[in-house]
């Protein structure tokens, strides 16, 4: 495990704190000794080969599993978008977005949901059932939550670039830049870089 681009932060409490964190799967160690403080304005790219534990780390951050060692402390409410976000095929794009927001305790109006679908290119397809969407459209439908009003300050995104075209990758990078500039922070995994303008921290699991 290696950590780069560490920026000093003065007089600011971290939004996320990992202390000597370790995890295993099927009795096989994935990573150990992960120490990290993520502050408002930070963007963290978690890297590593397949099987290095990237998704396992994100699940620990979100409290969806327990570590075998160490501690996770999340100071702020978070938003988690999984690699397979579990969209319901019978719901329309609009219904799914509003349902996801309500389940997360942040109900949104129809107008707010339609506005969030605009930057991901799905406003005209808001009435389509999820079952009719391509993989790229399903990914964009899940990411639309990032454009809802007053999103949580900490974002945890597992492979958000999967199935996205270049234009949508650029829009996501712009959204992440703006979120960080407004005091938010994000942890994301990806097999390719994002064209971010802000300084980016990186955490590599697996040692290579």
Classify residue 17: in a domain, yes or no. Answer: no
What is the length of the chain? 208
Number of domains in the chain: 1
Nearest one of 160, 154, 179 to 79, comparing CA atoms: 154
Nearest 5°: the CA angle 63, 66, 67 is 120
Give the pLDDT confidence score for residue 207 in this predicted structure: 60
Classify residue 208: in a domain, yes or no. Answer: no
Give the pLDDT confidence score for residue 13 in this predicted structure: 85
Owning domain of residue 105: 89-150
Classify residue 99: in a domain, yes or no. Answer: yes
Give the pLDDT confidence score for residue 5 in this predicted structure: 40
Classify residue 165: in a domain, yes or no. Answer: no
Instruction: Answer whether 154's CB lies under 8 Å from 82's CB.
Output: no
Classify residue 115: in a domain, yes or no. Answer: yes
The model's pTM: 0.91
Classify residue 16: in a domain, yes or no. Answer: no
Classify residue 133: in a domain, yes or no. Answer: yes
Backbone angles phi, psi at 100, to 5 degrees: -60, -40
Residues lower than pLDDT 50 in the chain? 2-11, 208
Classify residue 44: in a domain, yes or no. Answer: no
* DSSP letter assigned to residue 129: B
Q: Whose structure tokens read 């830049």?
A: 177
């Amino acid at each position: 495990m290696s950590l780069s681009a560490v920026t000093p932060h003065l007089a600011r409490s971290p939004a996320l704190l990992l202390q000597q964190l370790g995890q295993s799967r099927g009795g096989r160690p994935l990573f150990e000794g992960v120490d990290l403080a993520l502050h408002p304005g930070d963007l963290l790219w978690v890297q590593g080969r397949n099987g290095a534990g990237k998704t396992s780390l994100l699940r620990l951050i979100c409290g969806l599993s327990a570590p075998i060692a160490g501690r996770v402390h999340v100071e702020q409410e978070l938003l988690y978008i999984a690699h397979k976000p579990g969209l319901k095929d019978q719901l329309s794009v609009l219904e799914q977005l509003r349902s996801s927001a309500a389940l997360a305790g942040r109900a949104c109006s129809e107008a707010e949901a339609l506005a969030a679908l605009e930057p991901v290119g799905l406003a005209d397809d808001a009435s389509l059932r999820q079952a009719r969407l391509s993989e790229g459209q399903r990914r964009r439908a899940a990411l639309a939550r990032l454009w809802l009003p007053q999103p949580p300050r900490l974002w945890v995104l597992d492979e958000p670039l999967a199935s996205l075209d270049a234009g949508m990758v650029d829009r996501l990078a712009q959204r992440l830049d703006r979120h960080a500039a407004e005091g938010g922070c994000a942890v994301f995994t990806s097999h390719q870089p994002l064209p971010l303008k802000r300084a980016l921290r990186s955490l590599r699991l697996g040692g290579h």
